[in-house]
Amino acid sequence: MLIPVRCFSCGKVLAPLYPKFLELIRSGKTPKEAFEELGIDRYCCRRTIMSHVDLYMDVVPFGPIVNRPARLKKLVQRYFKDNK
Protein backbone atom coordinates (compact mmCIF):
# COMPACT_ATOMS: atom_id res chain seq x y z
CA MET A 1 0.00 0.00 0.00
CA LEU A 2 2.54 2.57 1.09
CA ILE A 3 6.13 2.42 -0.05
CA PRO A 4 8.18 0.29 2.34
CA VAL A 5 10.27 2.44 4.65
CA ARG A 6 13.28 0.19 4.24
CA CYS A 7 14.51 -2.33 1.70
CA PHE A 8 13.41 -5.81 2.69
CA SER A 9 16.85 -7.32 2.02
CA CYS A 10 19.52 -4.82 3.02
CA GLY A 11 17.61 -2.36 5.22
CA LYS A 12 18.45 0.82 3.29
CA VAL A 13 15.93 3.62 3.88
CA LEU A 14 13.85 3.99 0.69
CA ALA A 15 10.70 5.90 1.67
CA PRO A 16 12.13 9.42 1.13
CA LEU A 17 13.53 8.38 -2.26
CA TYR A 18 10.27 7.10 -3.74
CA PRO A 19 8.62 10.52 -4.41
CA LYS A 20 11.87 11.74 -5.97
CA PHE A 21 11.98 8.60 -8.12
CA LEU A 22 8.42 9.26 -9.34
CA GLU A 23 9.30 12.87 -10.20
CA LEU A 24 12.29 11.76 -12.25
CA ILE A 25 10.21 9.17 -14.11
CA ARG A 26 7.51 11.75 -14.85
CA SER A 27 10.16 14.15 -16.15
CA GLY A 28 11.07 11.58 -18.81
CA LYS A 29 14.07 9.79 -17.34
CA THR A 30 14.41 6.04 -17.57
CA PRO A 31 14.29 4.04 -14.33
CA LYS A 32 18.01 3.27 -14.72
CA GLU A 33 18.85 6.98 -14.94
CA ALA A 34 16.61 7.76 -11.99
CA PHE A 35 18.23 5.06 -9.85
CA GLU A 36 21.70 6.30 -10.72
CA GLU A 37 20.77 9.90 -9.90
CA LEU A 38 19.30 8.87 -6.54
CA GLY A 39 22.28 6.66 -5.70
CA ILE A 40 20.32 3.41 -5.56
CA ASP A 41 22.93 0.84 -6.57
CA ARG A 42 21.73 -2.43 -5.09
CA TYR A 43 19.38 -4.69 -7.01
CA CYS A 44 17.38 -5.45 -3.89
CA CYS A 45 16.54 -1.74 -3.41
CA ARG A 46 15.74 -1.32 -7.09
CA ARG A 47 13.42 -4.32 -6.91
CA THR A 48 11.62 -2.90 -3.87
CA ILE A 49 10.94 0.40 -5.63
CA MET A 50 10.13 -1.05 -9.06
CA SER A 51 7.74 -3.68 -7.74
CA HIS A 52 5.82 -1.32 -5.48
CA VAL A 53 2.14 -0.86 -6.38
CA ASP A 54 0.46 2.13 -4.78
CA LEU A 55 -2.90 0.87 -3.50
CA TYR A 56 -3.50 3.65 -1.01
CA MET A 57 -6.48 5.17 -2.81
CA ASP A 58 -8.03 1.73 -3.31
CA VAL A 59 -7.98 1.09 0.44
CA VAL A 60 -9.04 4.53 1.74
CA PRO A 61 -12.79 4.05 1.14
CA PHE A 62 -12.81 1.04 3.46
CA GLY A 63 -11.25 2.82 6.45
CA PRO A 64 -12.98 4.82 9.20
CA ILE A 65 -12.49 8.00 7.21
CA VAL A 66 -15.39 7.05 4.91
CA ASN A 67 -17.77 8.30 7.58
CA ARG A 68 -16.36 11.81 7.12
CA PRO A 69 -17.01 12.71 3.47
CA ALA A 70 -15.52 16.21 3.66
CA ARG A 71 -12.20 14.90 4.93
CA LEU A 72 -12.21 12.08 2.38
CA LYS A 73 -12.84 14.55 -0.44
CA LYS A 74 -9.96 16.72 0.78
CA LEU A 75 -7.60 13.72 0.90
CA VAL A 76 -8.59 12.56 -2.58
CA GLN A 77 -8.09 16.03 -4.04
CA ARG A 78 -4.68 16.35 -2.39
CA TYR A 79 -3.66 12.88 -3.62
CA PHE A 80 -4.56 13.55 -7.23
CA LYS A 81 -3.05 17.03 -7.15
CA ASP A 82 0.29 15.59 -5.98
CA ASN A 83 0.24 12.64 -8.41
CA LYS A 84 -0.40 14.43 -11.71
Q: pLDDT of 31-50, one tens digit each?
A: 999 999 999 999 999 999 99
Amino acid letter, 40: I
Among the listed residues 62, 31, 66, 30, the one whose alpha carbon sits nearest the alpha carbon of residue 45? 31
- Greatest alpha-carbon span in the chain: 44
The phi-psi region of residue 6 (left if phi > 0; otherwise alpha if psi is between -120 and 50; otherwise beta) is: beta
Q: What is the mean pLDDT of residues 54-82?
A: 70
- Among the residue ranges 9-13, 18-22, 30-34, 79-83, the one predicted with the least confidence is 79-83
* CA 55 – CA 38 distance, rounded (Å): 24
What is the per-residue pLDDT for 80?
78
Give start-end residues of each CATH 1.10.10.60 domain in the chain.
1-53
Homologous superfamily (CATH) for 1-53? Homeodomain-like (1.10.10.60)
Q: 6, 1, 40: which is closest to 20 by C-alpha?
A: 40
